């Protein structure tokens, strides 16, 4: 998900803010191994399902591998980064 | 307690990705499983305690590697369309990964044999799913 997210970023994720929208970075379980959480961007929403894609398509494991994800499974949207401090700010 | 400990996130999420080299072959897991098989054979034929201790340690490493290769096949190679066409693959990989754990703690050669047979079943699906053509780099003789 670089450059939007980097390894080790500390983020605030919230369920507040109404329905999820295309373009938002969301926290969702990997449908193949639900204990593993992933952060990906919503590329499309169709009914109750959304397609999640990474920002680096060549290197991303996303809906192209694990299929669409139910909107109900999403744990929240990534709102802002609070560490590292020099990259503090809204996502 | 430092402030950073208070602020440290409690949940870990993955945003980075595998670099998909695209090479997947059950043979990788099979070679590790064969190592387990042969190590158990050698363990049972030996009277040297030091050798037997080393054999156990190395067998556990090999079984763990076999498990890793099976996990990679399942999570990275097999796609939803494969699962749709060959629904047995999920259970085959799941059971084979569990068998790796069994072989890790076992000195019964039958357990290692079972693991090899399970990997061969995964290999059959991988072959039917076009694995050899889709994932491997051709040998020189095949390119000529």
* Assigned domain for B1 exists: no
Strands A76-83 and A69-70, how do they pair?
unpaired
pLDDT, tens only, B7-65: 888 888 887 665 567 789 999 999 999 999 999 999 999 999 999 999 999 999 999 99
* C-beta atoms of B13 and A39 within 8 A: yes
Residue A74 sits at the chain B interface (C-beta within 8 Å):
no
**pLDDT for position B136:** 87
* C-beta atoms of A54 and B17 within 8 A: yes
* Assigned domain for B9 exists: no
Q: Is the pLDDT of residue B1 over 80?
A: no
* Assigned domain for B142 exists: no
CATH code of the domain covering residue B82: 1.20.120.400
* Assigned domain for B19 exists: no
Q: Tell me the nearest-neighbour CA distance from B56 into chain A, angstroms.
A: 30
The ipTM of this complex is: 0.79
Residue A15 sits at the chain B interface (C-beta within 8 Å):
no
* Assigned domain for B3 exists: no
Which of B17, B78, B81, B93 to probe the A interface (max A CBs under 10 A)? B17
pTM of the model: 0.59
Chain B: residue whose CA lies nearest to A53: B15
* Assigned domain for B58 exists: yes
Question: Which structure tokens are listed for B8?
Answer: 């440290």
Alpha-carbon gap, residue B55 to B114, rounded angstroms: 19
Helix (H/G/I), strand (E/B), else coil: A38 = strand
Containing domain of residue B123, as a range? 25-132
**pLDDT for position B2:** 77
* Assigned domain for B91 exists: yes
User: Which residues does residue A78 pair with via DSSP β-bridges, in sequence order?
Assistant: A13
* Assigned domain for B81 exists: yes
Q: How many domains does chain B have?
A: 1
Dihedral over Cα of B69, B72, B73, B77: its sign: negative
């Amino acid at each position: 998900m670089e450059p939007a997210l980097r390894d080790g970023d500390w983020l605030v994720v919230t369920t507040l803010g109404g329905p999820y929208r295309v373009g938002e970075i969301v926290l969702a379980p990997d449908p193949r191994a639900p204990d593993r959480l992933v952060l990906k961007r919503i590329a499309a929403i169709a009914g109750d399902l959304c397609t999640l894609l990474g920002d680096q398509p060549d290197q991303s494991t996303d809906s192209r591998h694990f299929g669409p994800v139910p909107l109900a499974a999403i744990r929240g949207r990534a709102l802002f980064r609070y560490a590292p401090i020099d990259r503090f700010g809204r996502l | 307690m430092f402030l950073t400990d208070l602020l440290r996130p409690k949940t870990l999420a993955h945003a980075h990705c595998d670099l998909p080299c695209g090479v997947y072959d059950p043979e990788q897991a099979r070679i590790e499983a064969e190592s387990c098989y042969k190590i158990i054979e050698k363990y049972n034929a030996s009277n040297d305690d030091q050798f037997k201790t080393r054999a156990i340690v190395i067998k556990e490493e090999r079984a763990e590697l076999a498990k890793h290769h099976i996990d990679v096949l399942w999570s990275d190679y097999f796609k939803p369309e494969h699962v749709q066409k060959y629904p047995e693959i999920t259970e085959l990989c799941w059971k084979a990964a569990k068998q790796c754990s069994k072989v890790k703690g076992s000195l019964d050669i039958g357990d290692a044999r079972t693991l090899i047979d399970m990997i061969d079943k995964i290999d059959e699906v991988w072959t039917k799913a076009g694995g050899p053509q889709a994932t491997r780099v051709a040998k020189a003789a095949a390119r000529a």
